[in-house]
Copies of this chain bind each other. A is one copy, B any other.
Amino acid sequence: MENRLKPMDAEQLREYGHKMVDFIADYYKTIENFPVLSQVEPGYLRNLLPDSAPNQPDSFQHVLDDIQAKILPGVTHWQSPNYFAYHPSNSSVAGFVGEMLSAGLNIVGFSWIASPAATELEMIVLDWLAKMLKLPEDFLSAGQGGGVIQGTASEAVLVVLLAARDKVLRRVGKDALEKLVVYASDQTHSSLQKACQVGTTSSTAVDPLLSLGKIAKSNGMWFHVDAAYAGSACVCPEFRHYMDGVEVADSFNMNAHKWFLTNFDCSALWVKDRSALVQALSTNPEYLKNKASQANMVVDYKDWQVPLGRRFRSLKLWMVLRLYGLENLQCYIRNHIKLAKHFENLIAQDPRFEVVTPRIFSLVCFRLLPVRNNESHGNKLNHQLLDAVNSTGSAFISHTVLSGKYILRFAVGAPLTEEKHVNAAWKVLQDKATSLLAESL
């Protein structure tokens, strides 16, 4: 049987790789031409693609043409400067080339020996980031703690929960399993249902960490702090105080893939007692045994996470920190917060709108005020306003419900967003509000 396929030819990689770089660079040059929120109908792609895979190879140019003609219309453009929905999911040049290198080396770093650089760079870079966040020293890898990159905050909180559960059960006995309790805010992230997480995703409010931490400690509880979104802001000295109380926490988590220019996925988790993770998650099958691991000379990150396999994700975070540096990253965060403040001021100048919860970082929660105090009609009105704005394709915002009120969320945080984009989005909001209010009279 002849082997016709040369799937990893260096010169073909060079040729296709260069073409793909140009395709992506051109995408960013034209990103404002696309509707931010994809306007396709459910099932649109099924009609555009064949029912089964081809028997014979297709040309790369055909594939690129299909991406342009068939895939991009179905993409919601998270990297658009007019994207203000959910939360930011930052791409950057540094994060992108870091992802490229990770995909290029394509190692699976489950244990130290499987690629020592993958484990060691991750430990070092998470120490760097811990210092930028002024985390207490016991979260650093030099002591009993250390950091690890998880895919998402959901996964971070899942492993923390397993570690906390096993730690308390070792103390009180396994029969107590059904008596275990998890406390979280009523505004916590939905992943609590799957794992258990503390956070305030809807409004990005900040819990009083120090008071909560003291209560947790005096009751022998594991105290986890989820700063998935807002943690990035805490590299700026003027916002660091929102993390006060982290010194009594057992674990802390921030998503570098949200608002810190590191392409998805990169959720940084630190623990003070890494042995609690290892005791809950370690496996040691014969086929993975090796001298360095058996002698306890190294960290094997497979024992800090649920899956066995893991990508070389520290590369992209390392690139972001090296290619931008702390001062630029602080400027980046401050600029978004300045833009969010600007948006808040625009709202304040229009008496038809109100800011609903105090803005702390770069998320503004606001709404069109109900006409004649009719809250139920107000909710409907804001829902209609959301749909009207998003269906223009010129901006994408999302919503939540707080204390029964339908609220609009304007999350500044895309790397390309400038003041002109915020102004343009506000203009669309005002225009659509005018139309809706006229219709509802």
Contact = CB atoms under 8 A, between A and B. Distances in A.
A3 interface: yes
Interface residues of A, number: 152
A120 B46 contact: yes
A281 B325 contact: no
Contact of A67 (B25, B29, B101, B128): B101
Interface stretch (A16-24, A165-173, A213-221, A271-279): A16-24
A152 B74 CA distance: 26
Complex copy number for this chain: 2
A372 interface: no
B288 A152 contact: no
Given A93-B13, A308-B154, A323-B63, A120 B7 contact: no
A57 B325 CA distance: 5
A40 interface: yes
A430 interface: no
Contacts of A281: 194
A58 B325 CA distance: 7
Interface of A is mostly: helix
Interface stretch (A48-56, A243-251, A351-359): A48-56
Given A7-B92, A158-B306, A128 B52 contact: yes
A278 to B, nearest CB: 13
Contacts of A400: 286-287
A77 B107 CA distance: 7
Given A101-B24, A261-B7, A321 B54 contact: yes
Interface string A39-73: 01011111001011111111010110001001111
Contacts of A58: 322-323, 325
Interface string A71-108: 11111111100000010011111111101110111111
A108 B121 contact: no
Interface in A176-208: 189-191, 193-195, 201-202
A76 B107 contact: yes
A124 B45 contact: yes
A10 interface: yes
Interface in A330-353: 331-332, 334-335, 338
Interface string A132-152: 100000000000000000011
Contacts of A264: 106, 108, 309, 311
From A46, A74, A117, residue with most partner B Cβ within 10 Å: A117
11 contacts: A16-B96, A23-B101, A42-B116, A71-B315, A75-B105, A108-B264, A194-B281, A201-B287, A264-B309, A287-B400, A287-B409
Shortest beta-carbon contacts, A-B, top 6: A74-B117, A17-B21, A24-B104, A99-B103, A91-B106, A14-B25
